[in-house]
Amino acid sequence: MKIHYRIIYLLISVFFIYTLLFCGFIYYSISSYSFQDFYKRLEIRAATTAKIESEKPKDVSVIKEMRQEFLEKLPEQEEYVYKINPENNGLTVPKGEDGLPDELVADIIEFGNGNFQEKSKFYSGIKFKTLNGDSFIAVVSAQNYFYTHHIAYLQNLLITSLLYGLLLIVFVSLLISRTLVRPVQNIIKEVKKISFENLHLRLKLPKSKDSLRKLALTFNDMLNRLETTVETQKNFISNASHELNTPLTSIIGEADLALSKDREKEEYQKALANILSEAEKLEKKTKALLLLAQTGFDGKSQKFDILRTDQLILDVKETVQRINFNCKIYLDFSLLPENPMKLKVNGNFYLLHLALSNIVLNACKYSNDSPVHVALGASDKEIIIVVRDSGIGIPEGEMQYIYDPYFRASNTGDFKGYGIGLPLARNIIRIHKGKLEVNSIEGQGTSVQINLPIAIIKL
């Protein structure tokens, strides 16, 4: 059974049972109240009749007038006054009268009062004694008009309301189920569009902050990891075949040339030096490729700890200046938050250190060792690191290729490098669920902004 119909049946069942119980409660409560109220009215009339019969007041007309004024006559009201026979505890019923129900009489004689219902006719009576010591019972009976008419009307009204309520419940259930299921169906349609060829597509996030939004976010995060892994594998294969081919060709060619004929010692030394140089290039490129492949968004293989970004930047500065003595790095900590907890991230120190070091080293290299500014700040949810230089910049038309491994801009011919630092840094930042953005103007400099989520520390 589809979840759409399950929701409908569940909502209909829950609301129908609730409405049925609610109507039953109302019907039972009003019915019970009508019985009790009518019995009390009959009991008052029976007590009035007993008082008249027991005390025999001289001016009975006054009592009858008061009774007529304050106690209106009930439909088909009848009054019965019978003497209790002390010999057999029975009643002395005049000839021609049907008498009273035996159950009612037994209750009145035993308990002093009693009530009885026979279809729509209600009885209420009490036991009393006259001044001369004789025992009597006074019973008043009447038709309960409220029970025969109003309760029947209430019953019909509740049944009608129940039917209309059922129709309303069906309509609301359909509306709610469509409202709940439609976003899920939309997600299913969007997921079906995503394949190996278009992993760049992402699900639209619902506006409401509920489980569906979390589901879409989780799926998009999975697509990010999957896309990065696939891209890394593709890049590794293509770059390995392309970049490793050149030094290997040089090594093989140099070796073949050296072995083609007998040569002088100096020529062999020169050939070996060329082979060594090409082998060193091959080693560096191989290490870079392997390092890039290892940052393919496999979070399980990395150990994450709580780190302070200000201390991380200080370590990066020290490392970079050991590698490049001429690099001038100026730190700007003027925007640090008052709460030091906002400087902490959940990450791998080695990988983050590697990413920041590559970015800062690039900034120093492509600015001819001009000052590089590193700023650190934080918002409520993110830590922001900005690395800014005034170097050669990147041509506008080449910005779309900056994350391709081994890509180097057309104006970097005078600078050594392999084009692996920025793609490597971006992969590392994405592992940490952050963002890396590059803004650059050719001839004016480059600005790299890194956003990392603040660590959530559970106490």
| pLDDT tens digits along 180-189 | 777 777 888 8
Alpha-carbon torsion (302, 305, 306, 307), positive or negative: negative
Q: Where are the domains of the chain?
A: 3-150, 194-300, 302-459
Contact (CB, 8 A) for 192 and 201: no
* CB atoms inside a 10 Å sphere around CB 295: 24
Report the predicted TM-score, pTM, of the whole model to 2 decimal places. Answer: 0.45
Find where tokens 């035996």 sit: 102
Extract the tokens encoding 271.
């050939």
Give me the average pLDDT of each 10-residue run along the chain (459 residues). 68 80 82 77 80 63 55 77 76 67 84 84 86 82 74 80 82 74 79 77 77 83 74 59 68 83 83 83 66 52 81 90 86 88 87 86 88 92 93 88 78 74 82 90 92 82
Alpha-carbon gap, residue 200 to 179, rounded angstroms: 28
The pLDDT assigned to 435 comes to 92
Find where tokens 């309960």 sit: 144
Same fold for the pair 3-150 and 302-459? no
Contact (CB, 8 A) for 23 and 161: yes
The pLDDT assigned to 385 comes to 94
Cα 193 to Cα 198, 214, 218, 237: the distances in Å are: 8, 20, 17, 27
The pLDDT assigned to 191 comes to 84
Report the amino acid identity of residue 106: A
Span 302-459 CATH architecture: 2-Layer Sandwich (3.30)
Q: Whose CA is closest to 37, among 101, 129, 135, 122?
A: 122
| pLDDT tens digits along 261-312 | 888 888 888 888 888 887 877 776 676 556 555 555 444 455 788 999 999 9
Report the amino acid identity of residue 348: N
CATH number of 3-150: 3.30.450
Fold of 194-300: Helix Hairpins (1.10.287)
